[in-house]
C-alpha cells in the first residue's frame, strides 16, 4: 500500500516522495490514521475500506469549499487513492501550536464566512458524510423543508428501519417545518463545528473534519454548543459581528437533535434515549 501512497504523493507534488518515517496514530472508528514524512514534508494519511472512497472525496471537496470561501487555515488534500483493499486520503499537516488561541478571531472568521450568502438554495451539489454516515444534500428553496426532510426525517427513518421508532415521522417533520420557518439565508456551514474540530496555529484559527453544505448559519453555532461549548469569547465575537436572530434558542433544540439522531443511529444504546428525550422536549 505504501508504495501506492508514495507514488501518488510524488505525482501530486511533481517531485519524488519516499516516506522515511511512519507513525500510526489513534484510530477513529474503523479508520486507521498515520503520520508520514520524508524528513522534510509531513502528511496525515487516513486509511479505510474501499467503500470509504466516496467519503474521502466528499471530505476533500468540503475542504476546498472552506479554503475558497473562508479565511480559516484548512489542511489541503494532497491526493486520494485506492489499493486492492483500501482507500486513503493524504492531507497536509498544520501544526497545532496553541501558544495564544485567539477565540475572538475565530468568532469573527466564522461570522465572515456565514455572511457571504453567495448561494440561493439550501443543500449542496452532492451528498456528504458526517460521522462516517451518508448525509443527503438535495437542493431545496425553503430551509425548513431541507432540514426537516434531509436531516431530521432522514435520520428518523434510518432508526425506524432498525426497529427504533421515536415518533411518528410524518407528523414530526411537519412540526419541525413549522418551528424552523424563519428568514434563514443559505450560508456555507462547516457542518461539524465542535471543540475537537477547532484548533490554532500561532493564534490563527484552523478548522478540521468539515461536512459542508449551505444552510442556516445557526446550525454551526448550535452544534458547537451541544457537548463542550467553545469559549465565551468566540460567541461574543460572533454575535458582535453577526448577531443571532430572535428565536434562536428554540431552533437550537431542533438543530442539536440532528447530531443526537446521528449518534443514536451510529452508536445506539444510551444515545437513543438522549435523542428520544430531545424529541419529547421539542413536542412540548
Quote the pLDDT of residue 129.
97
Fold of 103-283: Aminoglycoside 3'-phosphotransferase; Chain: A, domain 2 (3.90.1200)
Q: What is the mean pLDDT of residues 68-80?
A: 98
Q: pLDDT at residue 189 above 70?
A: yes
Q: pLDDT at residue 52 above 90?
A: yes
Q: What is the mean pLDDT of residues 54-81?
A: 98
Helix (H) or strand (E) segment spanning residue 2 = helix 2-13
Based on the number of CB atoms within 10 Å of its own CB, is 100 exposed (0-12), middle (13-18) or buried (19 or more)?
Answer: exposed
Q: pLDDT at residue 97 above 80?
A: no
Q: With beta carbons less than 8 A apart as the criterion, state whether 252 and 229 touch.
A: no
Q: What is the mean pLDDT of residues 59-68?
A: 98
Q: What is the mean pLDDT of residues 98-115?
A: 93
* Tens digits of residue pLDDT in 229-272: 999 999 999 999 999 999 999 999 999 999 999 999 999 999 99
Quote the pLDDT of residue 98.
64
pTM of the model: 0.96
Q: What is the mean pLDDT of residues 215-231?
A: 97
Query: How many percent of the chain have pLDDT more than 90?
Result: 95
C-alpha cell belonging to residue 56: 474521502
Q: pLDDT at residue 78 above 70?
A: yes
Q: What is the mean pLDDT of residues 109-134?
A: 96
Tell me the HSE value of 126 on the side-chain side, using a 13 A CA sphere: 10
Which residues contact residue 273 at a Cβ distance below 8 angstroms, ignoring those fewer than 6 apart?
none
Quote the pLDDT of residue 28.
86
> Which superfamily, per CATH, for 2-92?
Phosphorylase Kinase; domain 1 (3.30.200.20)
Q: What is the mean pLDDT of residues 21-34?
A: 94
* Mean residue pLDDT across the chain: 97
Q: What is the mean pLDDT of residues 117-145?
A: 96
Q: How confident is the model at residue 145 (pLDDT cuts 50, 70, 90)?
A: very high
Q: How confident is the model at residue 100 (pLDDT cuts 50, 70, 90)?
A: confident
Q: With beta carbons less than 8 A apart as the criterion, state whether 92 and 36 touch.
A: no
Grid cell 444510551 is found at 270
Q: Where are the domains of the chain?
A: 2-92, 103-283
R_g (Cα) of the chain, nearest Å:
20
Amino acid at each position: 500500500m505504501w508504495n501506492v501512497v508514495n507514488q501518488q504523493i510524488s505525482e501530486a507534488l511533481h517531485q519524488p516522495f519516499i516516506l522515511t518515517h511512519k507513525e500510526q496514530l489513534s484510530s477513529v472508528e474503523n479508520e486507521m490514521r498515520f503520520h508520514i514524512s520524508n524528513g522534510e514534508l509531513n502528511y496525515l494519511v487516513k486509511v479505510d475500506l474501499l467503500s470509504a472512497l466516496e467519503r474521502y472525496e466528499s471530505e476533500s471537496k468540503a475542504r476546498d469549499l472552506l479554503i475558497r470561501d473562508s479565511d480559516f487555515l484548512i489542511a489541503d488534500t494532497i491526493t486520494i487513492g485506492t489499493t486492492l483493499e483500501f482507500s486513503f486520503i493524504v492531507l497536509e499537516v498544520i501544526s497545532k501550536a496553541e501558544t495564544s488561541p485567539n477565540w475572538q478571531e475565530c468568532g469573527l472568521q466564522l461570522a465572515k464566512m456565514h455572511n457571504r450568502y453567495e448561494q440561493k438554495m439550501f443543500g449542496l451539489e452532492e451528498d456528504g458524510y458526517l460521522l462516517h454516515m451518508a448525509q443527503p444534500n438535495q437542493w431545496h428553496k425553503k430551509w425548513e423543508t431541507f432540514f426537516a426532510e434531509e436531516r431530521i426525517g432522514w435520520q428518523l427513518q434510518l432508526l425506524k428501519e432498525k426497529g427504533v421508532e421515536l415518533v411518528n415521522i410524518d407528523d414530526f417533520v411537519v412540526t419541525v417545518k413549522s418551528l424552523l420557518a424563519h428568514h434563514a439565508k443559505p450560508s456555507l456551514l462547516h457542518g461539524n463545528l465542535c471543540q475537537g474540530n477547532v484548533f490554532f496555529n500561532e493564534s490563527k484559527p484552523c478548522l478540521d473534519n468539515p461536512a459542508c453544505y449551505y444552510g442556516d448559519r445557526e446550525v454551526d453555532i448550535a452544534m458547537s454548543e451541544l457537548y463542550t461549548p467553545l469559549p465565551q469569547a468566540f460567541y461574543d465575537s460572533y454575535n458582535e459581528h453577526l448577531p443571532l436572530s430572535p428565536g434562536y434558542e428554540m431552533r437550537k433544540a431542533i438543530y442539536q437533535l440532528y447530531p443526537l439522531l446521528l449518534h443514536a443511529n451510529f452508536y445506539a444504546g444510551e444515545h437513543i434515549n438522549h435523542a428520544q428525550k430531545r424529541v419529547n422536549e421539542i413536542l412540548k
